[in-house]
């Protein structure tokens, strides 16, 4: 697959900051918390209608500076390679630069995710001086929609300005966007805006049913709409390659299907979704010291301890039995029957847990939605209980299977028709979907086939990407010639 910083076969000019998150087999086996997302304060200067943590006021018992610095040292000792500081709004905490500097001093990559209201040029320069080397700006729509979702007029323009300032200090700016029923209509516009502002990375996630988003559940995507969203994002992924923007599908976007081999990679290797890493190689920390499997998950089910009473190492051991490879969950509904279960294990734990209070049945899946659509079926979520007024609170939703006309369908007809497979996956030589290396016939296109190993697939994808780009450039030349009134054949 083409190098994100160059062309096929060429070495990168610099390693992408996200490459540190690539997990080795040893990381997984020994439960190294490779990437930690740390909410250092719940204080926030925005009023987001989709905020899962219900941020606003700082927690009453947030860790002291000394306690935070001790946590940094513990994370370094257990092998953490990257820490992303979040809030609320992380820079509203007075000692945030001291925390960032300690992270960098101990050799870990320090990043910041921010809504950017009040993120001045001076604050960005101070962050860089402290050792922050990645800054992601949240942008959820064009001006009117973003300001409405974020609850503060002018927040959109501040976010765009922050992208430009981040670039000026020498950091390749990233953007993080939540996708919901309203923002999905503005993805093309967001793409154009952030490219013009100088963004180099664009991570996209779904708005998930937690906290304020439960209160405003009308904004949530319906599961069958994931097909249109993923197809559009894949189109933007390829457009981004032409202009130097790397689109990164988040953990809630997926899974498998015809786009997977192109974009689910943090390196040059052709790869695919490999299952949720919460509590295995990922950790989340709350401002009061709660140690969780994932920053987005509620502590009620996914806390392994608190830093005031437990060490990071002790919390990791407490969480070992709760990751997706060890919790004994065999899946339910379509996921329970899915061809990819033994690799995927139900997608993002956060997405499925917040709907029904347990993981293992994730309707926001591209492979699942396209499989059901071929049978004239679709899924819909219906809220049946509100969320309490507290951080990371979840409500309750029912996942319903329907015919295309909206009439209810029995769950028994909403299962995968391809049996589960174990072992490694490769790319089908005919349709470029992932199939088991042990199969002769591709379960997706039916061709008699021998799945490609990753090395062979990488070489062919490089060629295919190059051909796709030549075709796109050729169409652009023809369009320009037509606009100029020239003979298209002469333009060729």
- Whole-angstrom CA distances from 98 to 78, 93, 116, 334 are 21, 10, 19, 48
Find the mean pLDDT for residues 217-224: 97
Select from 286, 316, 247, 315 the least CA-distant residue to 86: 286
What is the CB neighbour count within 10 angstroms for residue 401? Answer: 20
Tens-digit pLDDT profile for residues 134-146: 999 999 999 999 9
Give the count of domains, the chain.
Answer: 2
Domain membership of residue 379 (yes or no) is no
Q: Of 322, 347, 369, at which residue does a domain stop?
A: 322
Q: Which of 322, 352, 376 is the last residue of a domain?
A: 322
Question: Roughly what angle, to the nearest 10 degrees, separates helices 226-243 and 454-483?
Answer: 80
Q: What is the pTM of this model?
A: 0.86
Using alpha carbons, select from 180, 216, 182 the residue that is nearest to residue 387.
Answer: 216
Residue 362 lies in a domain: no
pLDDT in tens, 102-127: 999 999 999 999 999 999 999 999 99
Rounded to an integer, what distance in angstroms lies between the CA atom of residue 462 and that of residue 457?
Answer: 9
Range of the structural domain that residue 97 is part of:
17-322
Q: The domain spanning residue 302 has which CATH number?
A: 3.20.20.70
Does 68 or 298 have the greater pLDDT score? 68
Distances (CA, A) of 386 to 51, 217, 397: 15, 10, 9
Residue 448 lies in a domain: no
Residues 130, 96: Cα–Cα separation, whole Å: 10
- Asked whether residue 10 carries a pLDDT value surpassing 90, the answer given is no
Tell me the average pLDDT across 175-190: 97
Quick one: what percent of the chain has pLDDT higher than 70? 86
Position 484 scores a pLDDT of 65
Decide if 475 contacts 11 (C-beta within 8 A). no
Report the distance separating Cα 223 and Cα 395, nearest Å: 17
Q: Which pLDDT band holds residue 440 (cuts at 50, 70, 90)?
A: confident
Strands 290-292 and 303-306: what pairing? antiparallel
Q: How far is residue 351's CA from residue 344's CA, in Å, rounded to a whole number?
A: 14
pLDDT bin (cut points 50, 70, 90) of residue 288 is very high
Could you say which of 322, 355, 375 is where a domain stops?
A: 322
When pLDDT is cut at 50, 70 and 90, the band that residue 486 belongs to is: low
Q: What is the pLDDT of residue 11?
A: 29
Q: Give the mean pLDDT of 392-402.
A: 95
């Amino acid at each position: 697959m083409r190098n994100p910083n160059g062309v096929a076969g060429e070495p990168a000019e610099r390693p992408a900051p996200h490459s540190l998150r690539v997990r080795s087999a040893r990381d997984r086996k020994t439960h190294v918390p490779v990437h930690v997302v740390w909410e250092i304060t719940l204080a926030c200067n925005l009023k987001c209608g989709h905020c899962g943590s219900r941020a606003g006021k700082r927690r009453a018992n947030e860790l002291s500076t000394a306690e935070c610095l001790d946590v940094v040292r513990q994370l370094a000792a257990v092998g953490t390679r990257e820490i992303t500081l979040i809030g609320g709004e992380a820079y509203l905490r007075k000692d945030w630069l001291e925390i960032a500097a300690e992270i960098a001093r101990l050799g870990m990559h320090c990043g910041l995710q921010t809504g950017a209201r009040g993120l001045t040029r001076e604050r960005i320069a101070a962050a860089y001086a402290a050792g922050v080397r990645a800054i992601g700006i949240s942008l959820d729509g064009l001006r009117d929609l973003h300001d409405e979702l974020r609850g503060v007029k002018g927040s959109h323009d501040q976010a765009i300005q922050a992208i430009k300032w981040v670039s000026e200090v020498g950091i390749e700016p990233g953007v993080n966007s939540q996708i919901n029923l309203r923002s999905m209509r503005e993805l093309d516009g967001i793409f154009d805006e952030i490219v013009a502002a100088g963004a180099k990375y664009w991570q996209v996630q779904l708005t998930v049913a937690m906290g304020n988003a439960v209160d405003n559940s009308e904004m949530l995507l319906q599961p069958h709409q994931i097909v249109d969203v993923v197809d559009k994002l894949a189109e933007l992924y390829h457009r981004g390659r032409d202009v130097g923007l790397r689109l990164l599908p988040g953990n809630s976007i997926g899974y498998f299907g015809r786009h997977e081999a192109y974009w689910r990679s943090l390196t040059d290797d052709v790869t695919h979704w490999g299952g949720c890493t919460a509590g295995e190689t990922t950790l989340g920390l709350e401002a009061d010291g709660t140690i969780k499997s994932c920053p987005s998950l509620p502590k009620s089910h996914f806390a392994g301890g608190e830093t005031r009473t437990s060490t990071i190492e002790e919390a990791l051991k407490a969480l070992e039995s709760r990751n997706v490879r060890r919790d004994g969950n065999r899946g339910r509904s379509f996921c329970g029957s899915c061809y990819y279960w033994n690799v995927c294990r139900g997608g993002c734990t956060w997405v499925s847990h917040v709907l029904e209070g347990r993981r293992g049945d994730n309707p926001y899946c591209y492979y699942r939605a396209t499989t059901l659509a071929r049978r004239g079926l679709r899924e819909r979520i219906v809220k049946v209980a509100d969320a309490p007024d507290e951080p990371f609170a979840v409500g309750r939703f029912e996942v319903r299977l329907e015919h295309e006309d909206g009439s209810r369908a029995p769950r028994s007809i909403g299962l995968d028709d391809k049996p589960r497979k174990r072992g490694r996956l490769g790319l089908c030589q005919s349709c470029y979907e992932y199939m088991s290396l042990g199969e002769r016939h591709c379960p997706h296109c039916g061709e008699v086939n021998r799945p490609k190993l990753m090395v062979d697939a990488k070489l062919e994808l490089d060629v295919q990407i190059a051909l796709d780009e030549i075709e796109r450039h050729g169409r652009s030349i023809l369009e320009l010639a037509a606009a100029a009134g020239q003979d298209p054949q002469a333009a060729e």
